[in-house]
Amino acid sequence: MTAAVSVRELRVTYGGASRPALDGVDLDVPDRGSVALVGESGSGKSTLALAATRLLDGSAAVSAEELSLFEADLLRLPARELRALRRTRVAMVFQDPRASWNPTRTIAAQLLDGLRGEARRERRARLVEVMRRVGIGDPEERLDDYPHHFSGGMLQRAMLAGGLAHGPRLLIADEPTSALDTTVQAELLTLIDELRVEEGLSLLLISHDLGVVGRMAAEVVVLFAGRVVERGPTDEILRSPQHPYTRELIAATPRLHGPRKVPLRVGRGRGPAETGCSYAPRCPLAVEACAQETPPLRTIGAVQVACIRAPVDEAVAG
Amino acid sequence: MSALAAALRERALVGPRRVVRSLLLVVGLGLLLVVLFPGLFAPYDAYELDVPARLQGPSWEHLFGTDEGGRDILSRVLHGARDSIGSALLVIGIAAAFGTLWGAVAGWAGGWADRVLMRIVDVFLAFPYLVLAMAVAASIGRDLRSAIIALAVVWWPGYARMIRGQVLALKGQQHVRAARTLGAGPSQLLRWHVLPHTLPQLNARVTVDIGYALVALTGLSFLGLGAQNPSPEWGLMVSNAKTYVLNAWWYAVLPGAVILVVVLYLVTLGDELSEEST
Amino acid sequence: MTALIELRQVGMEFRDGRRSVVACREVSLTVAEGEVVGLVGESGSGKSTVANVALGLLTPTAGEAVFRGAALASRSRAELRQVRADMQAVFQEPFLALDSRKSVGWAIEEPLRIHGRGDREERRGRVLELLDAVGLDRSVAGRRPSQLSGGQLQRVNIARAIALRPSLLVCDEPVSALDVSVQAQIINLFLEIQESLGIGMLFISHDLAVVRHLSDRIVVMYAGRIVEEGPTDQVCEAPHHPYARALLDASLEPEPSRARAAAAPAFREAIPEDGCPFAPRCPHVEPACETGQLPLAPTSQGRSSACRRALELVGVAGNRDEGMVRS
């Protein structure tokens, strides 16, 4: 089975920036698999997803040993074929539903843009079908509505519908539910799950919410300052996180059970270090050696961790 | 904000633009000096007659030649800068100040006050500007002062409308709401949080308009409605020159060229400033 | 405990020509001195409207907002100014709440300047103290908002809000725009400030876990109405309204077991005019739910619910501490 996404040693630097946004990152999304990219803003997670489909514009310098999408070498593919590949194989859902739609055009007008080739009537019929599939009632009428007639959750569904119309094999979802409440989020995530199973989609999910990640992805890649700091099966990592940053993310999430009205266990965030381990300034376990050189990714059991202090005993991390 | 957006914002000022900026600055300073101290630069007196030397072409002694009274044209041009540019500044200064006040009140008050105030503005804007200016100038009196007043009357409605639009938009912004929550009253809100944000657009427009006002002013003088003889105002000079245009081309062309260059400069400066504000 | 702010049957209807939108109706809630009340609801539930009414930025079309015993709407301009010194706000977007042309120090000083507290020297000193209190470096005072991160900006907003030592802080989604780690830091800051200054808070968020972490009491809103109210622990352990139950069940925690969340309520769009707004999505709906009034009624000590079947559905043997049965 061909991998959906295969990336080796990806380096991305935006024009005019002093540091790379991504510094030697590997990524694998297996066919029909689900991988989540986790990190804070500036970690490079959105950049990674965009780079994997070559959606970054010319101002970004991109280099990689390998960059392939369903076995097509994206580094060598001519622009037109690249665009066709993206259009037919990849569906994308972005974070803010209101920002992704043009308020002056109907939903139909905007979705029809993306479908080319067949006659208008057939394209519209296909849209009606996928709109129904994603759970939008009365799709015939709703297609002619404007974005402001739709709720946030509905807009995300419509976005999914638009992507599905081509029969894609990869779904990239960038913070798809962060603007929605938990019930709407639950519905949308369930929908994505169903679609994955039925259409055989691979999922590349970007989220800062570890709860969503735990629910949706079999594998998680934790990014910090443009580098992978931990990678492995989601259950394993949530059960026993090895990298101090992963622990920080988990500790920072307020819970629905357990003590409340007590300070959450996070340190004072300090900017990433220029040399050595970039997380060291914020790390409760940092030692002198951490500032010397960037820790390499090592395999510890089922996961890969970039930390010289790992494996860490739960008690020590306390 | 994504790293992408941040990187795009870091786009540095590239070479050629820097050169243009420096040039504009130098020319601006030069103009300012001429307006303030024409005597430093003018080789001759602007008014003293020397009839035997009349209508001589450009030479080393008289770089721009002489006019019908034997006066050095270059000196008159330099002295006239104060009248022309100075008056243009005055026109726009008055128009901008008055228009801003009008527009700010209309935009902030909203409701019927806004409607009434803007209706009046619409009435003014309905007239072709030069016709209105001529009418006002002719009725007040034929001199530079009335030309200035006439043009200010014509120019203020544009500012009122621009400022009113901006104030309306700014009124609803979150930082204004936040300041209101702090307890700021309308005067404080306008002074601190609304009007300062209109400055970039205002500045850009003012600079461009000074150029246009200069043209309008010289136009009025040309028609006999502005400065009167023996003032060295540029429009008046060109008007006088029309009688001699066939045998003394320098008399009309050279001052005219100066007008052109100065206006171009002002408009370019305005464009640069508006680039910066967006 | 004295009530700081009281919303009494507040309703807000926005008219735009012929169309009208009811943002909230029959909303009654109280925040007492030193108490933290959390308001939870999705976007569109009316919670931001409630915030704006509480702050006096909106005059309700029904009911009234009462601060320290006197209705906001009936106060003179001078009195309102006094009220403003006592009730402050922190909003969602850290950058947009600040004037981009003014330095951060100027922004923090602004409330002091508006209310004439101290002379320039004293005000400057106070600004530096406030920067310390919110954990920012003093050098930040001279910078512009565009030079600071979201987390830093929110600290600035908080510093500005507590400058006058208000009794009440209304926070409208103050951490929603922040990264998880930064969000945690700001939550900790809120905890610290609330404890040290004894400030009453109305904390509004769509994130139940965040609200739970900070509040003494929780109010749950749906489609412009309050559907449940009670002490935080009790509401989160044993909810008395099907929507609150659904919110809790749907919440995802970063736990290893990827057990599917309980089946999410069926997807429906329209909010019905009559009867319970949650009826189309409720697993316990019965015909009577779709018509008639639904008052917020007490279900046990200090708790109330707008579900007409609450008492029936809660617990098996009528034990109110069991909470709403799952579908």
In this predicted model, what pLDDT tens digit does every residue of B193-203 receive, in sequence order? 999 999 988 98
Interface test with A, best of C39, C181, C203 (most A CBs within 10 A): C181
A5-100+168-239 domain in CATH 3.40.50.1370?
no
Nearest CA in chain B to A20: B3
Summary mean pLDDT of chain A:
85
- Confidence band, pLDDT 50/70/90 cuts, at residue C121: very high
* H/E element, A223: strand A219-224
Q: What does the buried/exposed string (b/e) look like for C86-95 if buried means 16 or more CB atoms within 10 Å of the residue's CB?
A: bbbbbbbbbb
Q: Residue C58 CB: number of other CB atoms within 10 A?
A: 19
Taking the C-alpha atoms of residue A189 and residue A177, their distance in angstroms, rounded to an integer, is 8
Domain containing B239 equals 30-43+62-277
Taking 90 as the threshold, does the pLDDT of residue A275 lie above it? no
- Confidence band, pLDDT 50/70/90 cuts, at residue C315: low
Q: Residue C61 CB: number of other CB atoms within 10 A?
A: 17
Give chain C positions within 8 Å (CB) of B185.
77, 81, 114
Report residue A58 as tokens.
């010319």
Rg (CA), chain C: 21
CB C261 within 8 Å of CB A186? yes
pLDDT at C40: 92
Cβ of B12 under 8 Å from any chain A Cβ?
yes
State whether B4 and A44 contact (CB < 8 Å).
Answer: no
Taking the C-alpha atoms of residue C281 and residue C126, their distance in angstroms, rounded to an integer, is 52
State whether B197 and C101 contact (CB < 8 Å).
Answer: yes
Phi then psi dihedrals of residue A51, to 5 deg: -65, -35
CB A256 within 8 Å of CB C188? no
Q: Residue A81 CB: number of other CB atoms within 10 A?
A: 12
Taking the C-alpha atoms of residue B214 and residue B223, their distance in angstroms, rounded to an integer, is 14
Domain contains B49: no
Q: Which residues of B touch C (CB under 8 A)?
A: 173-175, 177-185, 188, 192-193, 196-197
User: Under 8 Å CB-to-CB from A289, ≥6 apart: which residues?
Assistant: A308
CA distance B27 to chain C (A): 29
Taking the C-alpha atoms of residue A162 and residue A113, their distance in angstroms, rounded to an integer, is 10
CA distance C84 to chain B (A): 5
* H/E element, A308: none
Domain contains B223: yes
Look at chain B and count its residues. Answer: 278
Taking the C-alpha atoms of residue C276 and residue C285, their distance in angstroms, rounded to an integer, is 9
User: Under 8 Å CB-to-CB from C260, ≥6 apart: which residues?
Assistant: A190, A215
Enumerate domains of chain C plus CATH numbers.
3-215 (3.40.50.300), 225-251+262-313 (no CATH)
The more confident residue out of A192 and C128 is C128
Looking only at Cα atoms, what is the longest distance across chain B? 76
- Specify the number of domains making up chain B: 1
Taking the C-alpha atoms of residue C234 and residue C215, their distance in angstroms, rounded to an integer, is 12
Which chains are within 8 Å of C by 3+ CB pairs? A, B
Select from A15, A44, A46 the Cβ nearest to the Cβ of B7: A15
B176: domain CATH number? 1.10.3720.10
State whether A16 and B10 contact (CB < 8 Å).
Answer: yes
Determine what percent of chain A is predicted with pLDDT higher than 70: 97
CA atoms within 13 A on the CB side of B189: 24
pLDDT at A115: 74
pLDDT in tens, C56-78: 888 999 999 999 988 888 888 88
Taking 60 as the threshold, does the pLDDT of residue C256 lie above it? yes
pLDDT at C259: 54
Give chain B positions within 8 Å (CB) of C77.
185
pLDDT in tens, B27-73: 888 888 888 888 888 888 888 888 888 888 888 888 888 888 888 88
pLDDT at C82: 87
Taking 70 as the threshold, does the pLDDT of residue C268 lie above it? no
DSSP symbol at B228: -
Taking the C-alpha atoms of residue A154 and residue A167, their distance in angstroms, rounded to an integer, is 20
pLDDT at B57: 85
Taking the C-alpha atoms of residue A95 and residue C68, their distance in angstroms, rounded to an integer, is 41
pLDDT at A178: 75
Rg (CA), chain A: 21
What is the distance, to the nearest Å, from the Cα of residue C197 to the centroid of all Cα atoms in its chain?
19
Taking the C-alpha atoms of residue B174 and residue B184, their distance in angstroms, rounded to an integer, is 14
- Confidence band, pLDDT 50/70/90 cuts, at residue A317: very low
Residue among A151, A261, C160 nearest B175 (CA): C160
Which chains are within 8 Å of B by 3+ CB pairs? A, C
State which amino acid sits at residue B264. L
Taking the C-alpha atoms of residue A186 and residue A179, their distance in angstroms, rounded to an integer, is 13
- Confidence band, pLDDT 50/70/90 cuts, at residue C319: low
State whether B7 and A44 contact (CB < 8 Å).
Answer: no
Taking the C-alpha atoms of residue B192 and residue B190, their distance in angstroms, rounded to an integer, is 6
Give chain C positions within 8 Å (CB) of B169.
none
ipTM: 0.83
3-state secondary structure (DSSP) of residue B50:
coil
Select from B179, B183, B192 the Cβ nearest to the Cβ of C85: B183
Distances from the Cα of B114 to the Cαs of A273, B103, B104, B168, in angstroms? 55, 9, 10, 10
The more confident residue out of B22 and A229 is A229
Burial of C109 (0-12, 13-18, 19+ CB in 10 A): buried
The more confident residue out of A150 and B104 is B104
Look at chain C and count its residues. Answer: 327
Taking the C-alpha atoms of residue C92 and residue A288, their distance in angstroms, rounded to an integer, is 39
Mean pLDDT over B121-138 rounds to 88
Domain contains B25: no
Ramachandran area for residue B175 (φ above 0: left; ψ -120 to 50: alpha; else beta): alpha
Taking the C-alpha atoms of residue C127 and residue B85, their distance in angstroms, rounded to an integer, is 46
Domain boundaries, given as residue ranges, for chain A:
5-100+168-239, 244-318
Burial of B103 (0-12, 13-18, 19+ CB in 10 A): buried
pLDDT in tens, A42-73: 888 888 988 888 888 778 888 888 888 888 88
Report residue A145 as tokens.
């509505």
State whether B1 and A41 contact (CB < 8 Å).
Answer: yes
Taking the C-alpha atoms of residue C101 and residue C104, their distance in angstroms, rounded to an integer, is 10
Domain contains B116: yes
CA distance C90 to chain B (A): 8
Give chain C positions within 8 Å (CB) of A253.
180, 184, 209, 253-254
User: Under 8 Å CB-to-CB from C278, ≥6 apart: which residues?
Assistant: C222, C223, C227, C241, C242, C243
Report residue C280 as tokens.
């189309």
Taking the C-alpha atoms of residue B81 and residue B262, their distance in angstroms, rounded to an integer, is 10
Give chain C positions within 8 Å (CB) of B180.
57
Domain contains B169: yes
Mean pLDDT over C209-218 rounds to 94
- Of A17-21, A32-36, A215-219, B256-260, give the lowest mean pLDDT range: A17-21
DSSP H helices, chain A, are 45-52, 79-89, 97-100, 107-114, 120-133, 139-142, 152-164, 182-199, 210-216, 234-239, 244-252, 314-317
Cβ of B246 under 8 Å from any chain A Cβ?
no
CA atoms within 13 A on the CB side of A41: 15
Cβ of C140 under 8 Å from any chain B Cβ?
no
Mean pLDDT over C87-101 rounds to 93
3-state SS record for chain C: CCEEEEEEEEEEEEEECCEEEEEEEEEEEEEECCCEEEEECCCCCCHHHHHHHHCCCCCCCEEEEEECCEECCCCCHHHHHHHHHHEEEECCCCCCCCCCCCCHHHHHHHHHHHCCCCCHHHHHHHHHHHHHHCCCCHHHHHCCHHHCCHHHHHHHHHHHHHCCCCCEEEEECCCCCCCHHHHHHHHHHHHHHHHHHCCEEEEEECCHHHHHHHCCEEEEEECCEEEEEEEHHHHHHCCCCHHHHHHHHHCCCCCCCCCCCCCCCCCCCCCCCCCCCCHHHCCCCCHHHHCCCCCCEEEECCEEECCCCHHHHECCCCCCCCCECCC
Cβ of A249 under 8 Å from any chain C Cβ?
yes
Residue among A59, A77, A58, A65 nearest A11 (CA): A65
Burial of A19 (0-12, 13-18, 19+ CB in 10 A): middle
Taking the C-alpha atoms of residue A161 and residue A134, their distance in angstroms, rounded to an integer, is 6
Question: Strands A227-233 and A219-224: what pairing?
Answer: antiparallel
Report residue A56 as tokens.
């970054």
Report residue C158 as tokens.
């908080």
What is the distance, to the nearest Å, from the Cα of residue C196 to the centroid of all Cα atoms in its chain?
21
Domain contains B179: yes
State whether B184 and C110 contact (CB < 8 Å).
Answer: yes
DSSP symbol at B66: B
Report residue C206 as tokens.
């769509």
pTM of structure: 0.84
